[in-house]
Structure 1
Amino acid sequence: MDRTGLRAVPAEVLAAGNVLALPDGDDSAEVTAVAVENDDFGVPALVIATVAGGRRISIATGSMVYVEPADAEIGVSAVAADHGSPEALVAQIAQAHADSGVVQEIAARLARGINLKAGSNLQDLQQLALTLFIDEGDTAAALTIADLLAELPFDGNFGRWKWIEGGLAIAAYLTRHDEERSARYSAAIRAADDAETDPLRAKTAAMYRQRQLNEPNVYDPEILRASAAGSIDVERDWRILRIGVLLYLRAHGGSETLNREVLERRIAAELAAVASLNAQLAGA
């Protein structure tokens, strides 16, 4: 079929309701369901789109597919977004997570336009990636958003860098079974470590950084207080902050007190704890 006027999107953001150009090139069909299958290492490998009539279309993750533009506004104005733009990616992901109030809230802010030099936009992208990963379990979409941040270089602005750093940490964890790719994210997260050119300041910064790595703030008092008080939502929020710290430590290569193996166990434990808290909140 003629693809003029179709929107190119990553396979990972396909959602039910999209009208997908079929691989035979002669037709299109509405997507009725989407699933992601991992490879033997746990890395998202295939997107399986079921279309009207029951046909299953297998698409490699990272591939671009073509969908027909919607006639009406989708969720957060996907129609207005340029093909393949960050706004379009966010809009498609928001459409796939229509039941998530947090995803919709963040996506609505980003729909106004994404400026990758604006700290507030970078924060929203990092929070969106974290939400997709932790609360929605959508690792493919989380990695797609994290990659928007991971492509940005360190420019000396630490206010912006902390959000980019967060995206790199998420990406490094989600690609942990692909050692070469994960290592690239980890190398990028250390870009700011060598930014200081003055020898004395560089030495002082290195000492301070090592102390932070060895004695990180993982919000133990805050979590204990919230747990003791039965404040499930507050405890959940502190644990998510803890996950962010652990992801950063892991991506940075661990420290003298916390090696990568220990960090991976702690991350898994925190993800399970947050899932349990989410279930309690859902049942409340």
Structure 2
Amino acid sequence: MMDKGSRTGLRAVPAEALTAGDVLALPDGDTLAEVSAVAVENDDFGVPALVVATVAEGRRISIATGSMVYLEPADAEIGVSAVAADHGSPEALVAQIALGHPDSATVQEVAGRLARGINLKSGSNLQDLHQLALALLIDEGDTASALTVADLLADLPFDGNFGRWKWIEGGLAIAAYLTRHDDARSARYSAAIRAADDAETDPLRAKTAAVYRQRQLNEPNVYDPEILRASAAGKTDVERDWRVLRIGVLLYLRAHGGSETLSRDALERRIAAELAAVGALNDQLAAD
């Protein structure tokens, strides 16, 4: 194994962030070798356990997930493959997830932005995390990873900034849905999503806000006209985007406990139907 002295000048990254083209410090000394291919091997439970990097002459380097490896510094702009973050950090988690979805343009694009550093007070970073969680749930069907990303948002408290809160709220809604078979855990997410409801301390303003909120819950905008127009015009990509927005609304309504017009059970049926509809549209777009 390389000692600390031999690592001087190298950059440390999580093993899960390795990509072809990286120049890796090998475990048998100070030798560096370019990585030609990277694969992830799961354990018997389907959990990523080993990162296998192929280097010169077909040599395979096996690295346990969660380990740090050392790479030659790159002059190029940092991307997903150059996440200089400790294992368990938001950046490392995103890098690991991105490694599992190399063919998803959305996952790679969003993860590439987040790899530069995640500031959980930045509205744009929170928006990217929300988009990533939605893509993993809706497009990739990777519920475990979607929940991991959603939890990065769900851990954040309401601080009075509604611009940031809408993305945290979205993460809580995703997490509440994905943990629906764990009543206690799902209830905690649902309780957290109502934090902003009780933020107003002025009694009159709080009453007015409650009336407005109930109207939104009872008569939500689920983009029916937009979806119908896009479908009638044969604009599959546009219809898909509107349906993704609809899923976000339905997830929020469900996490909020439903409303006077839409029960939680009804919302779960609608969410399942929308996920299937978007899946079919994705298949159609892929075939075109």
Question: TM-score over 0.5 for the alignment?
Answer: yes
CA deviation vs aligned residue, 1:232-276 (integer Å, no higher than 9, x gap): 000000000000000000000000000000000000000000000
Match of 1:41 in 2: none
What corresponds to 1:122 in structure 2?
Answer: 126
- Does residue 171 in structure 1 map to residue 165 in structure 2? no
TM superposition shift of 1:181: 0.7
Equivalent runs, 1:217-236 vs 2, <5 Å:
217-236=221-240
What does residue 256 of structure 1 align with?
260
Using the alignment, how far apart are the partners of 2:148 and 2:207 within structure 1?
36
**Contact 2:154–2:168 (CA under 8 A) maintained in structure 1:** yes
Task: Give the TM-score taking structure 2 as reference length.
Answer: 0.78
- The yes-or-no answer on 1:210 pairing with 2:214 is yes
Query: Quick check: 2:258–2:264 contact (8 Å CA) kept in 1?
Result: yes
What is the Cα deviation at residue 98 of structure 1? 1.3
Alpha carbon RMSD of aligned pairs, Å? 3.0
Which residue matches 2:47?
47
- The percentage of counterpart residues that share the same residue type is 75
Number of equivalent positions: 251
C-alpha separation in 2, matches of 1:241 and 1:36:
36
Question: Paired residue for 1:104?
Answer: 108
The answer as to whether partners of 1:149 and 1:167 remain within 8 angstroms in 2 is yes
Which structure has the larger Rg over C-alpha atoms? 2
8 Å CA contact retained: 1:14, 1:34: no
Q: Write out per-residue CA displacement over residues 206-248 of structure 1, whole angstroms, 9 at most, x where no aligned residue.
A: 0000000000000000000000000000000000000000000
Q: CA deviation at 1:90?
A: 1.1
Amino acid at match of 2:203: P
Give the alignment of 1:76-95 within 5 angstroms.
76-95=80-99
Structure 2: distance between partners of 1:192 and 1:132? 26
> Within 5 Å, which residues of 2 pair with 1:172-187?
172-187=176-191
With over 3 angstroms needed to count, the CA separation of the structure-2 counterparts of 1:75 and 1:36, relative to structure 1, is: farther
How far the C-alpha of 1:78 sits from its partner, in A, is 4.3
Deviation of residue 50 (structure 1)?
7.4
AA at the equivalent of 2:89: S
Runs of 4+ in structure 1 over 3 Å off: 4-9, 13-17, 30-37, 48-52, 70-75
**Separation in 2 of the partners of 1:217 and 1:187?**
23
8 Å CA contact 2:18–2:81 kept in 1: the answer is no
1:201 corresponds to: 205
Q: Which runs of 5+ in 2 are unaligned?
A: 21-37, 53-63
Cα shift readout 1:71-101 (whole Å, capped 9, x = no counterpart): 4679613441233211111111112111111
Q: How does 1:29-48 map to 2 (within 5 A)?
A: 32-34=40-42, 47=47
Question: 1:192 and 1:112, CA in 2 relative to 1: closer, same or farther beyond 3 A?
Answer: same
Deviations 1:144-179 (A, max 9, x none): 110000000000111100000000000000111111
State the match for 1:25 in structure 2.
Answer: none
- Contact in 2 for aligned 1:69/1:79 (Cα 8 Å): no
- SS of the residue corresponding to residue 177 of structure 1 reads coil
Question: 1:137 and 2:141 equivalent?
Answer: yes
* Structure 1 unpaired stretches of 5+: 18-29, 38-45, 53-63
Q: Distance in 2 between matches of 1:135 and 1:89?
A: 19
Instruction: Tell whether the 8 Å contact from 1:32 to 1:49 is kept in structure 2 after alignment.
Output: yes
Change beyond 3 A, Cα 1:250–1:208 = same
1:250–1:260 Cα contact (<8 Å) kept: yes
The aligned residue for residue 67 of structure 1 is: 67
Change (3 A) 1:113 1:51: closer
Name the CA shift for 1:111/1:79 in 2 (closer, same or farther; >3 Å): closer
Q: Is the 8 A contact 1:254 1:260 kept in 2?
A: yes
Report the TM-score, using the length of structure 1 for normalisation.
Answer: 0.79
Q: 1:272 to 1:106 in 2, by over 3 A?
A: same
Contact 2:17–2:82 under 8 Å retained in 1: no
- 1:33 counterpart SS class: strand
Q: Is the 8 A contact 2:129 2:153 kept in 1?
A: yes
CA distance, structure 2, for counterparts of residue 246 and residue 103 of structure 1: 23
